[in-house]
């Protein structure tokens, strides 16, 4: 599978942004366009880096998530299936578990 961008970039103008700041940012985005995705469908996996998570406790931590309404659960199921299919995530049998938090965008979409 061809390597895909590792980072998702979303742009929102800020009031303090000057024309010089905007131009500088655009130059950085152009320079690193191979590793920056402009939508979630462009995200992927890489073999170039590997990370570890240093654990604080010697025992597994498990937390429950907040209840989700049916439309949100259906949306989430589709997203997870899509990421599994594209190899971004994989099934896990870990004793560690944490709930998911979903934040809506300003336009109220997920």
3 state SS of 37: strand
Spatial distance between the Cα atoms of 30 and 44, rounded to a whole number of angstroms: 19
Q: CB under 8 Å to 48, separation ≥6 — which residues? A: 3
Whether 43 shows a pLDDT value over 50: the answer reads yes
* pTM across the whole model: 0.57
Q: What angle is formed at CA 89 by the lines to CA 67 and CA 32, rounded to 5 degrees?
A: 115
pLDDT, residue 37, reads 75
* Phi, psi (deg, nearest 5) at residue 108: 75, 5
Q: Which residue has the higher pLDDT, 41 or 25?
A: 25
- Residue 3: what pLDDT? 58
Phi-psi group of 19: left, alpha or beta (phi > 0 → left; psi -120 to 50 → alpha; rest → beta): alpha
Q: What is the pLDDT of residues 49-107, one digit of tens each?
A: 787 888 888 888 888 888 899 999 999 999 899 889 888 888 988 888 888 888 887 88
- Tell me, what's the pLDDT at 1? 44
pLDDT higher than 80, residue 44: no
The domain spans of the chain are 1-44, 59-110
Strands (E), the chain: 7-8, 36-37
């Amino acid at each position: 599978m061809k390597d895909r961008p590792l980072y998702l970039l979303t742009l929102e103008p800020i009031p303090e942004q000057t024309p010089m700041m905007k131009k500088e940012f655009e130059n950085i985005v152009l320079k690193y366009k191979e590793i920056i995705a402009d939508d979630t469908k462009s995200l992927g996996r890489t073999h170039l880096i590997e990370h570890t998570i240093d654990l604080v406790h010697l025992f597994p931590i498990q937390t429950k998530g907040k209840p989700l309404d049916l439309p949100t659960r259906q949306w989430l199921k589709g997203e997870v299936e899509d990421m599994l299919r594209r190899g971004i995530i994989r099934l896990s049998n870990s004793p560690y578990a944490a709930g998911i938090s979903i934040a809506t965008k300003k336009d109220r979409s997920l």
